[in-house]
Amino acid sequence: MYRYDEFDATFVRQRVKQFRGQVERRAAGELSEDEFRPLRLMNGLYLQLHAYMLRVAVPYGTLSARQMRKLAFIADSYDRGYGHFTTRQNIQYNWPRLPDVPDILGHLAEVEMHAIQTSGNCIRNVTADHWAGVAADEVEDPRPYAELMRQWSSLHPEFSFLPRKFKIAVTGSQADRAAIRYHDIGLRLKKNTQGEAGFEVFVGGGMGRTPMLAARVRDWLARDDLLTYLEAIMRVFNLHGRRDNKYKARIKILVHALGAEEFSAQVEEEFARTGAPRIMPGEGELKRIAAYFAPPGYDALRDDDPALALRLEKHKDFAGWVERNVSAHGVPGYAIVNISLKPIGGIPGDASADQMRAVADLAESFSLDEIRISHEQNLVLPNVRKRDLFAVWLSLGEHGLADANIGLASDIIACPGLDYCGLATARSIPVAQDISKRLGEPARQREIGDMKIKISGCINACGHHHAGHIGILGLEKRGREYYQITLGGSGDESASVGEIIGPGFSSENLSGAVETIVDTYVELRQNGETFLEAYRRVGPEPFKEAVYATH
C-alpha cells in the first residue's frame, strides 16, 4: 500500500488547516454560503436533507486496518455509529456537525487519509478495480497509476473549477470490474509486444439523465505520456465544456456534440503542444510510488489446501459462502474474500463501527493488513490464505458479515435516496430492502444466479441503475414515488445501457414486478444462461408481457 512521506503528510495537514480557516471565516460571516459552498464541497462536505454529509476518500478503494479503525472511531465519535460505503469506493458519514469537520479531517490526516475532492466540480477520487494487484486475470497492477493520478489531481491549479465533476477509473484487467466505460475518463492498462506499459483511453462515459458509454480515443497511450494526455483532455473540457446548464456540463455532452473524432482531434492537438513543460514525474518518482505496491510478503504455499477441502465437504454453509464470496487470487494458496455489506433486508453499503473494527482485525490477522472497498458497496480482504478461509468465515458470521450473496439478486447497489439525500426524488433504501427480502432466500437466489440490481433515487443515477441488469430509477409524480425499470444494462467489459421497459410502478407494486421479471428469466433461460445473456438473446418483449400482464 502507498504510504505518505513527509511531503504528502504536510500537504494534507496544510489542507486541513486551510479548511479550518475557511470554516471560521464562514462562521464569522466573512464568506457567504455561495462562496463557502464550492470550498466545502472540495473538502467532501455536502449539505443534505437533515444534516451535513462528509464523504471521505478511500483512494482507489484501498485501506489498512489502522485506517479502517479510524473510520470506526469517526463513526462512533462524530456520527451515529455507522458509515455508508459508496459506489465510488468512498465512505460517507451522514450526521457530522460543521464545526467538527476540521477535527474529523485532522483525525483522517493522522492515518494518511483525507476528503479532498470527493465532491465539487473537480477531478474526483480516482477509482480502480477493487481486486487490483491480486486478481488472477490481471495484466498489470493499476494502483501505482491510480496513486499518481490521485496526487496529480489533488488541488490541480488549472482544473479545480471545471464545468462539472470529473471521474477517472482505471483497470489492469480485461475483465472490467471498475466500470471504466461509465466514467469521464476510463483507462485500461495494458502492455505492448515489447512489454512496455501503456493505456487504452476512453472518454465521455457517464450516467445521470443522459447515460453514455465512453468512446475510445486512444488504443495506445505510452505510460510516460499519461498525465500530459490527461491534461490535454482536461484543458479541452475546461475551455469548451458547457457551463450554461449543469445537466449538459459533463464531458460526455461535449464529446457527443463534437463527435468522438473531432473531440479526439482537439485533444491530440492540445497534447502535441503541451510537450514543453514536463508534466510526468521522472522514472525515479514512478519507481518510488510503484515500490509501495510491490507484492506483500506472501508465504510459499501449495495452491490446494487439504484442510480447506475437508471443511468444504463438512460445512455446507461455508461451502456456499466460498462459492459465492471467494475469488481467484494470483498467488498460489491465497484467495480473495469478498465481504457482503448486503444482509437480507439491510441497507446496502452500511457498516457499523463494530463491523469496521471486526474487518480491521481480520485484515491484520489474515489479509496482510489490507482491505478494499468495491464500487458495488462491498468490502474485500484481498490476501487471505486458503487455509484461513474457515476462520475468517466464522469470524465474519459473528459480526453479521457472512452473507453468501456476492453477485446475486440481493447484492443490490442503492444510493441513500430520499432517506438522506437532498437531490433524491424517491426512496431507494426501502426498495432495496423489499427486493432483497423477496428474492433473498438462499436457495432461491442461488437458483437465479448472477444478477445485478441497481437502484437510484433520482435521475443523477448514483445507484448506477443504467448499468444494472435490472435497473430501478425512483421518481416522483404528484407527490407520489414511482419507479421506472430498465433492463439489460451492464458496467463490465461488455458495457451497455439499460432500456426502459415501460410505465413505472408504485412502491407497492415494484418488488412484485421485479420478481415477475426474475421468474420470467428463470423460465426462458437456456443452457445455464445468465440473466444478461438471456436478455440479450430474447430482448425486452417477454419481460414486458409478463410484467404488464400482472402489474
What's the order of all strands across the beta sheet hosting 127-128? Answer: 127-128, 168-171, 185-191, 197-203, 215-222
Q: Which amino acid is at 473?
A: L
Nearer to another protein, 38 or 397 (CB): 38
The DSSP symbol for 246 reads G
6 binds another protein (CB under 8 A): yes
Q: Which residue has the cell 485532522?
A: 106
Nearer to another protein, 13 or 66 (CB): 13
281 binds another protein (CB under 8 A): yes
Q: Which stretch binds another protein (CB under 8 A): 11-19, 294-302, 364-372, 408-416?
A: 11-19
Give, in order, the Cα–Cα distances in Å from 23 to each of 175, 224, 257. 44, 39, 40
273 binds another protein (CB under 8 A): yes
Q: Which stretch binds another protein (CB under 8 A): 88-96, 156-164, 350-358, 528-536?
A: 156-164
CA-closest candidate to residue 514, choices 537, 475, 485: 485
Strand partners, 505: 483
- Smallest distance, another protein to C-beta of residue 350, A: 33
φ/ψ (deg, to 5) at 361: -60, -45
Subset of 460-479 contacting another protein (CB under 8 A): none
Q: Are 445 and 405 in contact (CB under 8 A)?
A: yes
- Smallest distance, another protein to C-beta of residue 272, A: 11
Nearer to another protein, 238 or 486 (CB): 238
Cα 335 to Cα 333: distance, rounded to the nearest angstrom: 7
327 binds another protein (CB under 8 A): no
Beta strands, E only, 273-419: 326-328, 334-339, 350-352, 371-373, 379-385, 413-414
Q: Which stretch binds another protein (CB under 8 A): 205-213, 234-242, 377-385, 442-450?
A: 234-242
Nearer to another protein, 274 or 530 (CB): 274
238 binds another protein (CB under 8 A): yes
Choose which of 235, 248, 387, 469 interacts with another protein (CB under 8 A): 235
437 binds another protein (CB under 8 A): no
What region does 476 belong to: left with phi over 0, alpha with psi -120 to 50, or beta? beta
Alpha helices (H) in 326-402, listed in sequence order = 353-366, 389-398
Q: Are 187 and 145 in contact (CB under 8 A)?
A: yes
Choose which of 81, 282, 295, 503 interacts with another protein (CB under 8 A): 282
**How many Cβ atoms sit within 10 Å of the Cβ of residue 455?**
29
Q: Which residue has the cell 513543460?
A: 277
7 binds another protein (CB under 8 A): yes
Cα 350 to Cα 342: distance, rounded to the nearest angstrom: 8
- Smallest distance, another protein to C-beta of residue 248, A: 15
Nearer to another protein, 7 or 398 (CB): 7
223 binds another protein (CB under 8 A): no
Nearer to another protein, 153 or 378 (CB): 153
Subset of 112-131 contacting another protein (CB under 8 A): 121
328 binds another protein (CB under 8 A): no
Cα 376 to Cα 198: distance, rounded to the nearest angstrom: 27
391 binds another protein (CB under 8 A): no
Q: Which residue has the cell 482544473?
A: 159
**How many Cβ atoms sit within 10 Å of the Cβ of residue 362?**
25
Subset of 135-154 contacting another protein (CB under 8 A): 151-152, 154
25 binds another protein (CB under 8 A): yes
38 binds another protein (CB under 8 A): yes
Q: Are 465 and 473 in contact (CB under 8 A)?
A: yes
482 binds another protein (CB under 8 A): no
Total of chain residues touching another protein, rule CB under 8 A:
42
Q: Which stretch binds another protein (CB under 8 A): 251-259, 276-284, 323-331, 338-346?
A: 276-284
Choose which of 107, 216, 242, 243 interacts with another protein (CB under 8 A): 243
Choose which of 1, 222, 279, 391 interacts with another protein (CB under 8 A): 279
Cα 470 to Cα 489: distance, rounded to the nearest angstrom: 7
Number of alpha carbons in the 13 Å side-chain half-sphere of residue 113: 29
- Smallest distance, another protein to C-beta of residue 52, A: 19
CA-closest candidate to residue 348, choices 88, 91, 86: 86
Q: Are 465 and 454 in contact (CB under 8 A)?
A: yes
544 binds another protein (CB under 8 A): no
- Smallest distance, another protein to C-beta of residue 106, A: 10
Grid cell for residue 515: 420478481
- Smallest distance, another protein to C-beta of residue 39, A: 6
* Residue ranges binding another protein (CB under 8 A): 6-7, 10-11, 13-15, 17-18, 21-22, 25, 30, 35, 38-39, 121, 151-152, 154-162, 235, 238-239, 243, 273-274, 276-282, 285
